Structure 1
Amino acid sequence: MTLSQSVAVTTHTWTWQGLPIRYQTAGTSGAPMILIHGFGAHSDHWRKNLPVLAETNRVYAIDLLGFGFSAKPPAGQPLSYTFETWGQQVVDFCKEIIGEPAFLIGNSIGCIVALQAAVLNPALARGVVMINCSLRLLHERRRELLPWYRNYPSAILQKVLAYQTIGQFFFSRIAKAKTVKKVLLQAYGRKEAVTDELVNLLLKPAAEPGAADVFLAFIGYSQGPLAEDLLPQVQCPVLVLWGDRDPWEPIDMGREYANYPMVEDFISLEGLGHCPQDEAPEVVNLILQDWVHKKTV
């Protein structure tokens, strides 16, 4: 794939709730898009999308509070790591930085953030694109539907990791290049997309103060909204993309989202895993540009 070399991507810091938030932007014309990363990622996970999408649109990629190179304050001081918090962050970003309604595009938990933002302030969401939405299988309501032998181990793990010493040790063991690469090779359908560059860019923020606490806070987060709670409240059109090789978020479960009236289309992406925008940007970028164009002409 040849990435666009004609559009510059710049990095900025936005002060939100008194805390520094990192974001990247590219493009000078066209309807704005906000790219929202998944768990353990940050705006660099959209590095293959930003310059290409910027050829037709103004594009922004944001590091959610607690992730990437944004602030990582202790949970609850002053904000908790919840979808309500991140949804409000995206709403305020639209108001203060973009200054107009935008298309909200998320991957994994970023989809829930996008939906939450669209519910909090419908006037600021022109459309939502969900790319391999997190089904939140650790959510307490999800676990109630699982047989005990699948539910019980997850509940125990969450309780054990709540002990700070154990949780910090667990994080230190997984925040290593070898482990991260192994996880990515499981998650990605296109194994060749798992490069040392990708591993290093995802791993670098793990050395930031507070990174372990954010990771553990989210692992223990079993409440909050599910996509099926938010979709009926969304007033803008929704597009769903899903890599059919995703081992974490099964496409058969994801297809249920196509039944909601605001979902205009559900596109299965053959041979791709949990992060199609990084595995096959040449496919995802075209779909995004085409859909947004149709919504703005």
Structure 2
Amino acid sequence: MGDPHAEEAVLLIHGFGANTNHWRFNQPVLAEQAPTYAIDLLGFGASDQPRARLKDEPAADDAVHYGFDLWGQQVADFCDAVVQRPVLLVGNSIGGVVALRAAQVLGKRCRGVVLIDCAQRLMDDKQLATQPTWMTWIRPLLKAMVRQRWLSTALFRNAARPGVIRSVLKQAYPSGSNIDDALVDLLFQPTRREGAAEAFRGFINLFDDYLAPQLMKELSIPVDLIWGEQDPWEPIAEAKRWAQSISCVRSLTVIANAGHCPHDEAPDQVNPVLQRLVNSGSNQQAT
């Protein structure tokens, strides 16, 4: 947990399909400096997994609309109920977008955000201009298909197998470092729960939700970027554009030879950066 008398805390927010254990190499290190928490977003890890309700579906007591308002509010509520002090939010992949949305909700209670290979959400309707022309043609069919629960569940069950998880990890972790049985298991075990396919259905139907640049342009707190140089899914060129064009972005640290999850693939390179950012925030609070 770290120094209980510290003036601020750190909250780690995982990416899609991951959970609190994905911070296995980071949380113990950061906890030496400040109280450090990790959270399972609703639908993932050990959290509740309610049925997914799409935006145009009727409200139901047993269903939620998975999206960044829901997850951002969950993080803010956790900070209010548990953290109870100024917080630095650290998010990987979609956890980065969640962190940015939560920072808006928290206001002055959030003192900064660190984005680790933040999801750029290229399938969002607002990104259509950046997509190939053929995507415009197949998009209506794609949307109609993925909203079908039987199909989204089948896609999820096909992907939620140890062999598939390991093959995806080999793409995400190009150096191959730390792809071990423990990592595969921490990602696989939550998929065996009864409602695990619901958050997947909700997320793959998010065609109109927040994008990171939109959220950052409304923030005045510092945002620091940490990016795997070889990320196969979130191009580093976009991170460089953010660093040059968005005023709240304070720094960009590139992690050599790492991919989409450098905090787990190359913790020896990422942890010192996170420690420095935690320490810089503490110094600002003290002055």
| TM-score computed with the length of structure 2 as normaliser | 0.91
| Residue of structure 2 equivalent to 1:92 | 77
Instruction: Tell me the CA shift for residue 158 of structure 1.
Output: 3.9
RMSD: 1.5
Q: Which amino acid is the alignment partner of residue 277 of structure 2? A: W
CA distance in 2, matches of 1:108, 1:275: 8
Instruction: Tell me the CA shift for residue 156 of structure 1.
Output: 3.6
User: Is the 8 Å Cα contact of residues 190 and 272 (structure 1) preserved in structure 2?
Assistant: yes
5+ residue gaps, structure 1: 1-25
| Residue of structure 1 equivalent to 2:213 | 228
Instruction: Tell me the CA shift for residue 146 of structure 1.
Output: 1.1
Structure 1 residue 27 and structure 2 residue 13: aligned? Answer: no
| Residue of structure 1 equivalent to 2:264 | 278
Instruction: Tell me the CA shift for residue 145 of structure 1.
Output: 2.5
Aligned pair in 2 of structure 1 residues 155, 249: CA closer, same or farther (>3 Å)? Answer: farther
| Residue of structure 2 equivalent to 1:62 | 39
Aligned pair in 2 of structure 1 residues 151, 275: CA closer, same or farther (>3 Å)? Answer: farther
| TM-score computed with the length of structure 1 as normaliser | 0.88
| Residue of structure 1 equivalent to 2:176 | 191
| Residue of structure 1 equivalent to 2:274 | 288
CA distance in 2, matches of 1:294, 1:271: 26
CA distance in 2, matches of 1:178, 1:151: 33
User: Is the 8 Å Cα contact of residues 177 and 266 (structure 2) preserved in structure 1?
Assistant: no
Q: Which amino acid is the alignment partner of residue 27 of structure 2? A: L
Instruction: Tell me the CA shift for residue 264 of structure 1.
Output: 0.8
Which among 52, 59, 69 is matched to residue 29 of structure 2? 52
Instruction: Tell me the CA shift for residue 263 of structure 1.
Output: 0.9
Higher mean displacement: 115-124 or 31-40: 115-124
CA distance in 2, matches of 1:160, 1:216: 11
Instruction: Tell me the CA shift for residue 151 of structure 1.
Output: 4.9
User: Is the 8 Å Cα contact of residues 144 and 151 (structure 1) preserved in structure 2?
Assistant: no
Q: Which amino acid is the alignment partner of residue 33 of structure 2? A: T
Structure 1 residue 206 and structure 2 residue 181: aligned? Answer: no
> % of aligned pairs identical?
40
| Residue of structure 2 equivalent to 1:73 | 50
Structure 1 residue 242 and structure 2 residue 227: aligned? Answer: yes
CA distance in 2, matches of 1:210, 1:158: 22
User: Is the 8 Å Cα contact of residues 229 and 254 (structure 2) preserved in structure 1?
Assistant: yes
Aligned pair in 2 of structure 1 residues 222, 55: CA closer, same or farther (>3 Å)? Answer: same
CA distance in 2, matches of 1:156, 1:63: 32
User: Is the 8 Å Cα contact of residues 52 and 201 (structure 2) preserved in structure 1?
Assistant: no
Q: Which amino acid is the alignment partner of residue 200 of structure 2? A: F
Aligned pair in 2 of structure 1 residues 191, 63: CA closer, same or farther (>3 Å)? Answer: same
5+ residue gaps, structure 2: 54-61
User: Is the 8 Å Cα contact of residues 122 and 235 (structure 1) preserved in structure 2?
Assistant: no
Instruction: Tell me the CA shift for residue 225 of structure 1.
Output: 0.7
CA distance in 2, matches of 1:154, 1:28: 51
Instruction: Tell me the CA shift for residue 161 of structure 1.
Output: 2.5
